[in-house]
Amino acid sequence: MSLSAPSLPPEPPPPSSGGALAEPSQRRFHWLPPVGTWKYHLLLSAVALFILGPLGGIAASYMNFSVGFFVGGQVLAGILGSAVTYGYGAEGKHGANYMQTMAASVASLCAMSVLIQSMVWLGMEMPAAWQLMLFVGCVGMFAVGVGMLYTPLLVDKLQLDYPSGLAVANILRALTDKRLLKASISKLGGGTLLGALAAWMTEKVAFVASIGTSAATLGAGMIVGSRITVPAIVMAVIGAVLVPTLREIGWLGPQDPFRKIGFVIGLGMICGAAVVDLSLLAVQAAKRIRERASVKDEGEEESWKKVNIPRLLAWVGVWGGATLVVGTQVLNQPIGWLLFGMLLALLFVLINGISFGITDQNPISSAFVISVLMMSMMGLRVPLVGMMAATILLISTSVGCDMQQDRSTGWRLGTNRVTQFRYQVLGVIMGALLCVGLARVFMTAYPALTINQLDNPNAEVGQWGSAMTYKLVGAIRDLGSLSQAVVNALLLGLAIGFIYELLRKVVRGNARYQRYVKGSRQGFAVGWTVDAILLPSPYASSFGGFVAFPVSLWFGAGGIVTSVWNTFSKRGEPAVSGSPGEGEALPEDMSTMSLMGGGLIAGESLFFLIAGLIGLASLLA
């Protein structure tokens, strides 16, 4: 997505209370508990905590264990949540928003189960499960407070777009239409069945397993599209071609794959591109502040927006203190580095929040690498201590920025902000429990997840590529003692990322170029070639350095499938209003390929979780 200055999103419509009792005429089914009652919130919480949250959390944890990134659960939770609140009519969008907020919090924390895998790879003596749950929970509570603290600035004052938040708001409005809701759920369900079938074939059919088949990787590619996935293929191919040369110059060992040094180049590319993006973000943020400062105060703040700032500051202080107490007294970590991780979290939740709001990208990898470099320069030489400090940063940027995106959805719908905060807190509690639980289940059921792939590059790990863990451990284990080859690879990646991102901004910011690529099929083809091959996004290309070669191919194939479908499909997507020929187009998050891709991810992740649980039960029997 371009970093050109975003237009201000439209002011939200006059909100309904989101908490007052609904009139009987507003409810399609009168047996539903009235809006705002304890039975209403119990219904929403039960569905979100025990169905939607775990479903999104399982998928997020599985994706990080396999392909190394995860797709947020907001869209899935929004669609399924709308099925529950459909009976409330238009008022149901608030209830669905509460549920997707809670479910997304569970998913964000479950995705951090790779931190526990990273500790295993580093040889850390694992604390008891309850100790890890307590620490992760305290950090999560600290993170939601920090995220909420920046909401008035990023959402209300700067009014950043948060594209995914906008998409979820559109989805929640659109799914008051019965036909649209039915079609969306059927596509998700169909994709889920296909994902489970593909996973079963991977387990049972030798040929399917031998070609590295992964429905989740294919589905992830289908969601993001070919302009993101093809660059990953290009980098993987370039890396494979350069392997002999890299071995000759000593950057790789005799049997090492490109991934062994490719992840360092990829991290450098991310950081180099981030330098360009953050510089532009600073300029845009300053411009937005000046624009909003010139807008006259329109009167008293609406009741649904109000937050008690002193209480919020107390919340951040209390849970920050609890994090330090648990980290030092329970996990025996030095307080200085834990405090340093918290200070970095305060900074990067703001920086990443601006990036997320404008580009729809939360660069947690960049934040992690920068934090490792800073700790190294400050004299830290113990990787395990650095990992615990970085855990605070990673969880905070994931949960805190997710909090801000959810608030942007609520801003557009007029959803009560304090109630939304409470739902997110409950989600963090469940997420902390599931984060540790899922890590233990997956790693016990699938021992390949415990293999340090940096030290064993040729190990047979199947679909468990663990790209996120690979780059986390790779960045932190050489803390304070980087080899010259690693330094050179990092500098090369920085240069490539900086130059490519700068050139992309110049080309994509040219008005004549934009008119050309949007004006004809030939222009579209040229634009795709530039974005996917000639000047690809360093963020997208870097993925080809983080994962094994077959994973890049399946990821790329998913994006190509989506592009081919969008190009040749004769049947358009339905309109939001449900009226033929009327209404605006559906957001991309609800397109056929996006929903099918999400279903593939859910199906494969559920299959392997269930298979793992069955295997554990048989071992314990």
pLDDT > 90 in the chain, percent? 12
Per-residue pLDDT at 554 exceeds 90: no
Q: What is the reported pLDDT for 305? A: 58
More confident residue, 282 or 561: 561
In whole angstroms, what is the distance from residue 79 CA to residue 172 CA? Answer: 7
Give the pTM: 0.68
Q: What is the 3-state secondary structure (H, E, C) of 536-602?
A: CCHHHHHHHHHCCHHHHHHHHHHHHHHHHHHHHCCCCCCECCCCCCCCCECCHHHCHHHHHHHHHHH
> Where is average pLDDT lowest: 57-66, 151-160, 608-617?
608-617
Q: How far is CA 270 from CA 66, 235, 389, 538, in A?
A: 21, 14, 21, 6
pLDDT > 70 in the chain, percent? 76
Q: What is the reported pLDDT for 169? A: 67
Q: What is the reported pLDDT for 579? A: 32
Cβ proximity of 363 and 411 under 8 Å: no
Other beta carbons within 10 Å of 442: 24
Cα Dmax for the chain:
76
Q: How confident is the model at residue 143 (pLDDT cuts 50, 70, 90)?
A: very high
How big is the chain, counted in residues? 621
Q: How confident is the model at residue 444 (pLDDT cuts 50, 70, 90)?
A: confident
Q: How confident is the model at residue 241 (pLDDT cuts 50, 70, 90)?
A: very high
Q: How confident is the model at residue 499 (pLDDT cuts 50, 70, 90)?
A: very high
Q: What is the reported pLDDT for 288? A: 64
In whole angstroms, what is the distance from residue 375 CA to residue 395 CA? Answer: 18
Beta bridge partners of residue 585, listed in sequence order: 575
Q: What is the reported pLDDT for 618? A: 64
Query: CB under 8 Å to 10, separation ≥6 — which residues?
Result: none
Q: Say which DSSP state 331 is in.
A: S
Cβ proximity of 152 and 355 under 8 Å: no
In whole angstroms, what is the distance from residue 122 CA to residue 125 CA? Answer: 9
Per-residue pLDDT at 359 exceeds 60: no
**Token couple for 53:** 């949250």
Other beta carbons within 10 Å of 565: 14
Most confident of 63-72, 107-116, 165-174, 423-432: 423-432
In whole angstroms, what is the distance from residue 369 CA to residue 273 CA? Answer: 13
Average pLDDT, the chain: 77
Q: What is the reported pLDDT for 304? A: 57
Cβ proximity of 544 and 231 under 8 Å: yes
Which run of H or of E encompasses 604?
helix 592-620
Stretch 320-340: mean pLDDT: 92
Per-residue pLDDT at 38 exceeds 70: yes
Alpha helices in 48-112 (DSSP H): 53-66, 74-85, 92-111
In whole angstroms, what is the distance from residue 110 CA to residue 112 CA? Answer: 5
Q: How confident is the model at residue 441 (pLDDT cuts 50, 70, 90)?
A: confident
Q: Tell me which residue of 352, 348, 371, 370 sits closest to 361, measured CA to CA.
A: 352
Q: How far is CA 411 from CA 355, 404, 456, in A?
A: 18, 10, 48
Per-residue pLDDT at 83 exceeds 70: yes
Within 13 Å of residue 72, how many CA atoms lie on the same side as its CB? 25
Stretch 435-459: mean pLDDT: 84
Q: Is 250 helix (H, G, I), strand (E, B) or coil?
A: coil
Instruction: Provide the Cα torsion 390, 391, 397, 400; round to 10°.
Output: -140
In whole angstroms, what is the distance from residue 616 CA to residue 621 CA? Answer: 9
Stretch 403-429: mean pLDDT: 84
**Token couple for 457:** 């590059």
CA dihedral sign of residues 538, 281, 98, 173: negative
Q: Say which DSSP state 575 is in.
A: B
